[in-house]
Structure 1
Amino acid sequence: MTFANIALLAAAFTTALIAGLFYSYSCSVNWGLGRLPDAGYLAAMQSINREILNPLFFMSFMGTLLLLPLSTWLQYGQGSSVRFYLLLAATLIYAVGTFGVTIMGNVPLNNALDAFQIQSVSPETLHQQRELFEKPWNALHTIRTLANAIALILVLLACIIKSETLRPA
């Protein structure tokens, strides 16, 4: 097994881990949290947002951001332009649609929520804060989840495609 194949497998693994995390949020965590009253929802999201910043999360989230371009670069000129272009597309989609949306959208919302003092505000203010956070956060989460799923499909295709070059028709 070549280093390029090992890097590709690692990229597929980390991409799948993040896709699974975002998918599980989409089909269970967000729905469960959505049923909580305002104070419970906000407190739960504060706790989750603090706890997710751990080495296991960063290994897959940042690992994908490093391994996808590495795999793409290693495939360049290696006899499979199809694999190269699949990985290039996966890299761009992940970098913009998953990582970029998270950093530019979800993280600022998380930071604003983290600074919010739940215990010292009125029920009306709790509801306003939830409205400011929940709908935009979930919309951005849907974008990054779909982008990550598309990136994963492209990586998986790159894993199974034969090592052939594109030939003009």
Structure 2
Amino acid sequence: MNTFAFIIHILTLLSTALMAGLFFSYSFSVNSGLGQLNDSAYLLAMQSINRAILNPVFFMCFFGTVILLPLNAYLQYDGRLTINFSLFGLSAAFYVIGLFGITILGNVPLNDALEAFDIGNASQETISGMRETFEGPWNKWHSIRTAAVVISFLLLSIASVLPKR
């Protein structure tokens, strides 16, 4: 493996691990804590989190991994359809479709609807309805994308340590 391919491989492992850790941790800590809040506090907290996560470090890892995983698979290709190359490709597919695609098509529209919701001028009934409309679907999509990024990292890790075949 040449130096460029090695650097891309290490950056791919790092960025995928960071994303898997972020989504996994959110699923099993933040979501549990948020779920215990009353409706108004829950919606305000989610609005705040959705704004805070839109930062350069998150964008670099989130979008960078979309580029790095397929690039890494391509750089690992040696002209043969090997188990390693197949695992690298599957890892990329799980991330691009399962994390990135679901985020863009599932979670972002829900986040946008929540951002547009004026909690300060809403009745308690409307606030409760918004939480019901938001929380279940958002958590469902989040669980799917969390599984996808963890699988992506697992496949990438296995391909990284398997002898080339």
Q: Which TM class, normalised by the smaller chain length? A: over 0.9
Partner SS, residue 162 of structure 1? coil
Displacement of 1:82: 2.0
The residue number in structure 1 matching 2:149 is: 148
The residue number in structure 2 matching 1:126 is: 127
One-letter code of the match for 1:44? A
One-letter code of the match for 2:52? E
Deviations 1:83-127 (A, max 9, x none): 211110011111111100000000000000000000001100000
Displacement of 1:163: 2.3
1:69-148 maps to which residues of 2 (within 5 A)? 69-77=70-78, 81-148=82-149
Distance verdict in 2 for CA 1:8–1:80, change over 3 Å: farther
Distance of 1:44 and 1:24 partners within structure 2: 17
Distance of 2:115 and 2:139 partners within structure 1: 17
One-letter code of the match for 1:136? P
One-letter code of the match for 2:149? N
One-letter code of the match for 1:42? L
| Identical columns (%) | 52
Distance of 2:124 and 2:81 partners within structure 1: 59
Structure 2 unpaired stretches of 5+: none
Normalised TM-score (structure 2): 0.96
One-letter code of the match for 2:95? Y
Partner SS, residue 36 of structure 1? coil
Normalised TM-score (structure 1): 0.93
Displacement of 1:2: 2.4
Displacement of 1:79: 6.8
One-letter code of the match for 2:105? M
Is the Cα contact below 8 Å between 1:79 and 1:163 reproduced in 2?
no
Number of aligned residues? 164
Is the Cα contact below 8 Å between 1:75 and 1:81 reproduced in 2?
no
Distance of 1:160 and 1:59 partners within structure 2: 26
